């Protein structure tokens, strides 16, 4: 079966006015970036749908695989085009139906007639086309409610467009249509999922990672880079900032008693992240924190850590169970990277009994004996910035909606 173009339907149809224009423009850019190596493709964007045209069938197939990973797409369909003429439409209908399994299946015809000059009314067309299909595929049974196959025929001025397939898109909003944030990316299972969730809501991200060489190795860095690349495959390339954190961590361990060092370490991380956020013009910080998971993620701990900034901290996983998070990480291809064994800068310096209810006065007290600010500034200044872009474009398996 030769398809001529892909019809792309948008998500978030409630979007209005200027927002819709931003949405469509970003989506078009993101699709363009995802398929730019497929030479025969081009995109036509309309107000409420988009067409991806490919002259080459391989390009068509590749483009469809990539579309399934791009946020802002509700669903998409490969479409066959013919002349807006009843005989041509009937012939094309047989071809399209023939591309599906027909044995023991139910079907119906749905007509959309944008070309009001077309010399048949919708009912007639349904009868004519449906009857023709049934004569050639007598095993099909007509069924109006939830049939296995819906043959969609869209008659426009420039021709007739037919399809029988609707594939589910990734949903959400185009990355970049909802601003920019800084993701704290650890290398664990949670933070990449948090980044994915925000990207799904249209937020583009930079990532920041704290490394404590020589206690953390090159392999740990490689892992975070791989996670960054995997995230890049969901729409827009993600930049990674690696912060040299050893000196600061050692200072914390020296200044603050064991059971509060975790809290102070997190507060230092957040202050550094906030400075980087400001430099790159991002509006919020994203973390993979989930309530109650560990000592640093109780409400009391989160409050004590959060005190260092008024910047919004977005925690998309805060109310999720670990199993739910793992399920998403498997789906988005970060799980296998996250479970590679590695040393996290925090686990190395983790005390055996961190406080689950750290007292702010105590934290302030111990932090007051040492000026951490120069070390914070130095860490920000000495960061390495890596531009990650996914070479391997991501795709989900098609999930047929029909
Ligand atoms: P994750 O699986 O994301 O590591 P976690 O459940 O292990 O999360 P913590 O290790 O307490 O929880 O980290 C909580 C959050 O703090 C992480 O989700 C991440 O956003 C941030 N974070 C922790 N360690 C680092 C690090 N080395 N670099 C950057 N961010 C970090
Ligand atoms: Mg962790």
To 5 degrees, how large is the angle CA 174–CA 176–CA 178? 90
Ligand nearest to the CA of 266: 1
pLDDT tops 90 at residue 154: yes
Max intra-chain CA distance, the chain: 88
Residue to mutate (ligand 1; options 184, 292, 351; most atoms within 8 A of CB): 184
What is this structure's pTM? 0.85
Contact 261, 305 (CB under 8 A): no
Q: Helix, strand or coil for residue 142?
A: strand
For residue 208, the ligand 1 atom closest to its alpha carbon is 29
Residue nearest to atom 21 of ligand 1 (CA): 184
Pocket of ligand 1 from Cβ distances under 6 Å: 184-186, 188-191, 208-210, 287-289, 293-294, 296, 344-346
Q: Helix, strand or coil for residue 360?
A: helix
Residue 322: both structure tokens together: 């670990």
Q: Helix, strand or coil for residue 235?
A: coil
13: confidence class by pLDDT, cuts 50, 70, 90: low
182 among annotated binding-site residues = no
pLDDT score, position 352: 72
Q: How far apart are CA 380 and CA 274, in angstroms?
A: 10
Q: How far apart are CA 25 and CA 230, in angstroms?
A: 24
C-alpha to C-alpha distances, 261 to 94, 264, 270, 363, 389, nearest whole angstrom: 71, 5, 14, 9, 36
pLDDT tops 60 at residue 313: yes
pLDDT score, position 399: 41
Lowest mean pLDDT among 6-15, 172-181, 258-267: 6-15
Q: How far apart are CA 390 and CA 200, in angstroms?
A: 17
pLDDT tops 50 at residue 402: no
Residue whose entry in the numeric block shows the structure tokens 């109780």: 298
Q: How far apart are CA 163 and CA 282, in angstroms?
A: 42
Lowest mean pLDDT among 78-82, 239-243, 254-258, 296-300: 296-300
CB within 8 Å of 114: residues ≥ 6 apart: 154, 155, 156, 157
Beta bridge partners of 239: 206, 387
Give φ, ψ of 153 to 5 degrees.
Answer: -120, 120
Lowest mean pLDDT among 19-23, 324-328, 337-341: 19-23
Residue to mutate (ligand 1; options 185, 187, 188; most atoms within 8 A of CB): 188
pLDDT tops 80 at residue 391: no
Residue nearest to atom 26 of ligand 1 (CA): 186
pLDDT tops 80 at residue 398: no
Beta bridge partners of 167: 76, 400
C-alpha to C-alpha distances, 188 to 192, 334, 341, 346, nearest whole angstrom: 8, 9, 10, 11
Residue to mutate (ligand 1; options 191, 224, 262, 295; most atoms within 8 A of CB): 191
365 among annotated binding-site residues = no
**% of the chain residues with pLDDT over 90:** 73
Residue 207: both structure tokens together: 């990532």
Q: What is the pLDDT of residues 15-51, one digit of tens each?
A: 666 678 888 999 999 999 889 899 999 999 988 889 9
Distance 210 CA to ligand 1 centre (A): 10
pLDDT score, position 20: 83
Instruction: Look up residue 37 and give its DSSP letter.
Output: T
Distance 202 CA to ligand 1 centre (A): 22
Q: Between 19 and 266, whose confidence is greater?
A: 266
Q: How far apart are CA 386 and CA 389, in angstroms?
A: 10
| Cis ω before 394 (30° cut-off from 0) | no
pLDDT score, position 192: 97
210 among annotated binding-site residues = yes
Total residue count of the chain as it appears in this document: 402
Kindly state the average pLDDT of the residues 119-147: 94
| Burial profile 267-292: b = 16 or more Cβ within 10 angstroms, e = fewer | bbbbbbbbbbbeeeebebbbbbbbee
């Amino acid at each position: 079966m030769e398809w001529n173009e892909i019809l792309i339907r948008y998500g978030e149809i409630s979007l209005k006015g200027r927002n819709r224009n931003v949405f469509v423009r970003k989506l078009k850019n993101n699709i363009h970036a995802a398929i730019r190596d497929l030479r025969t493709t081009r995109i036509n964007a309309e107000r409420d749908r988009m067409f991806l045209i490919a002259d080459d069938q391989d390009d068509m197939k590749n483009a469809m695989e990539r579309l399934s990973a791009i946020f802002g797409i509700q669903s998409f369909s490969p479409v066959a085009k013919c002349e807006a003429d009843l005989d041509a439409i009937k012939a094309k209908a047989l071809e399209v139906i023939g591309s599906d399994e027909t044995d023991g299946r139910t079907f119906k015809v749905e007509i959309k007639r944008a070309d009001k000059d077309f010399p048949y009314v919708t009912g007639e067309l349904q009868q004519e086309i449906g009857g023709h299909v049934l004569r050639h595929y007598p095993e099909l049974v007509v069924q109006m409610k939830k049939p296995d196959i819906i043959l969609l025929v869209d008659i426009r001025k420039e021709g007739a467009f037919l399809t029988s397939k609707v594939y589910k898109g990734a949903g959400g909003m185009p990355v970049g249509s909802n601003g920019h944030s800084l993701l704290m990316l650890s290398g664990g299972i949670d933070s990449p999922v948090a980044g994915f969730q925000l990207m799904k809501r249209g937020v583009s991200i930079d990532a920041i990672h704290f490394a404590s060489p020589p206690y953390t190795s090159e392999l740990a860095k490689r892992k975070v880079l791989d996670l960054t690349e995997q995230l890049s495959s969901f729409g827009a390339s993600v930049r990674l900032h690696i912060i040299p954190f050893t000196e600061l961590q050692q200072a914390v361990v020296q200044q603050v008693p064991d059971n509060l060092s975790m809290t102070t370490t997190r507060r230092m991380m957040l202050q550094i992240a906030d400075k980087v956020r400001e430099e790159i013009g991002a509006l919020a910080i994203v973390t993979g924190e989930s309530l109650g998971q560990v000592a640093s993620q109780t409400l009391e701990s989160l409050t004590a850590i959060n005190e260092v900034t008024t910047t919004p901290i977005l925690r998309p996983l805060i109310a999720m169970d670990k199993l739910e998070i793992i399920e998403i990480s498997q789906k988005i291809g970060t799980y296998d990277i996250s479970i590679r064994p590695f040393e996290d800068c925090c686990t190395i310096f983790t005390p055996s009994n961190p406080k689950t209810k750290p007292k702010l006065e105590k934290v302030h007290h111990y932090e007051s004996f040492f000026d951490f600010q120069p070390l914070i500034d130095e860490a920000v200044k000495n960061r390495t910035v890596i531009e990650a872009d996914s070479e391997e474009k991501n795709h989900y398996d098609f999930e047929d909606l029909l």
